[in-house]
Structures are given as C-alpha cells and as structure tokens.
C-alpha cells in the first residue's frame, strides 16, 4: 500500500510533462483555420495570405526568456529564406501589445508579427507552452510542432526544415 501514492505521483508528474491539447487546437495533419491576425503595423491578414509557400509560425511572448533567446536565429533564418523558399511569421501571446512591440524592436525582427488579442490563435495553434514553432505546408496543413527554444539557423534546424518541407535550402 505504500507504493500506491508513489505510483500516483509518478503518473501525475508524467502527465504534467506532456503538453495538453488546447481548446480547438489544429492537430498535425490538419489544415489551419483561416482566421484574421492583427499585425503590429495595423494590417489584418489571414493564414490564407501565406498559402503557396511553406510557412513557419513562431508563437512567443515578450516575457518568455526562451522565446527571446531564439529570436536572433529566427531573424537570421528570415534574412536568408523568408519569402523565397518559405515564409516566417511570429505570433505574440502578450496581453500588453506595447511590451511585444518593444521586444520586436529590440530584437530587430523584420519578419511579420501578429498579436493574439483574445487567445484564439494561441488555442488554435496549441500553444499550451511557448515558444512553439509550427511548420505548415504550402496548402495550410500543419506538418510539425516544435516545442521549446532552438537555434533555427543551425545546420540541424535547416535539415529539419528541409526534411519537413521536402525542399533543398539554397
């Protein structure tokens, strides 16, 4: 009987380490719903505006250290490939738009970023933890979700992008 609490605790810890699905989450293999996104420049776009090329979506927040840590590598990736072989966008989950705008300016991001005002994008993308990077094919189908920070311009990440999108990066 002494082992039952121990087993229960181990199961609870294992369950906590696995990200839970969020309400309305688009699963891998499904098409992104075409909902409006508000940019920091005042533009409103839908995901369909990015169809025709693969898309990398990075979900982040200004207060998230790991999110901020990977921004430089995302910018480098953007400088090399954005608009050419694939597109890159960021989605901030910040409640405070000005804090997110400051983070974009400090990081010198040139790729498009959007603000998720009402957690609709956060829920749809499954951002129960951030950073979350989602690779989407040219038709809007979710191919891969990468949780946690990484160096997106590293040789390993470039290979992952090539393999996921079935492209050769030049």
**Domain region containing 98:** 26-165
More confident residue, 49 or 16: 49
Tell me how many domains the chain contains. Answer: 1
pTM for the model = 0.86
Tens digits of residue pLDDT in 70-129? 999 999 999 999 999 999 999 999 999 999 999 999 999 999 999 997 889 999 999 999
Q: What angle do CA 42, 87, 134 make, to 5 degrees?
A: 95
Inside any domain, residue 11: no
User: Is there a domain that residue 106 lies in?
Assistant: yes
Q: Which residue has the tokens 């966008």?
A: 89
Residue 18 lies in a domain: no
Q: Determine if the peptide bond prior to 131 is cis (ω within 30°).
A: yes
pLDDT digits (tens, 9 = 90+) for 160-169: 999 999 999 9
The reported pLDDT for the residue numbered 1 is: 47
Cα distance between the two ends of the chain:
61
Q: Is residue 2 part of a domain?
A: no
The answer to whether residue 20 is domain-embedded is no
Q: Is residue 144 part of a domain?
A: yes
Lowest mean pLDDT among 11-15, 73-77, 129-133, 155-159: 11-15
Residue 96 lies in a domain: yes
CATH classification at residue 34: 3.40.30.10
**Domain-embedded: residue 17:** no
């Amino acid at each position: 009987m002494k082992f039952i609490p121990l087993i229960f605790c181990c199961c609870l810890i294992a369950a906590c380490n696995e990200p839970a699905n969020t309400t309305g989450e688009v699963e891998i293999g499904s098409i992104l719903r075409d909902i409006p996104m508000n940019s920091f420049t005042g533009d409103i776009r839908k995901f369909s505006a990015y169809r025709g090329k693969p898309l990398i979506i990075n979900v982040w927040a200004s207060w998230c250290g790991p999110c901020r840590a990977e921004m430089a590598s995302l910018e480098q990736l953007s400088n090399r490939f954005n608009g050419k072989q694939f597109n890159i966008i960021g989605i901030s989950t910040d409640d405070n738009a000005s804090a997110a705008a400051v983070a974009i300016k400090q990081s010198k991001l040139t790729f498009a970023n959007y603000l998720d005002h009402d957690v609709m994008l956060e829920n749809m993308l499954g951002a129960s933890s951030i950073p979350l990077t989602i690779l989407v094919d040219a038709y809007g189908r979710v191919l891969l979700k990468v949780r946690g920070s990484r160096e997106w311009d590293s040789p390993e990440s470039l290979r992952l992008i090539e393999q996921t999108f079935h492209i050769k990066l030049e």
